[in-house]
Amino acid sequence: MSILQKILFIITIYGISLALILVLLWYFDPSLNGVVRTLIISLPILISTVLVQLIERKTNLRKK
Tell whether the model's pLDDT for residue 9 goes beyond 70. Answer: yes
Tell whether the model's pLDDT for residue 1 goes beyond 70. Answer: no
Q: Which residues contact 45 (CB under 8 A, 6 or more apart)?
A: 14
Instruction: Convert the pLDDT of each residue in 20-52 to its tens digit.
Output: 887 877 776 666 667 777 777 777 778 888 888
Report the phi/psi class of residue 30: left, alpha or beta, with left for phi > 0 and alpha for psi in -120 to 50: beta
The predicted structure's pLDDT at residue 31: 67
The predicted structure's pLDDT at residue 29: 65
Q: What is the extent of the structural domain holding 39?
A: 3-63
The predicted structure's pLDDT at residue 48: 80
pTM here is: 0.59
Count of domains forming the chain: 1
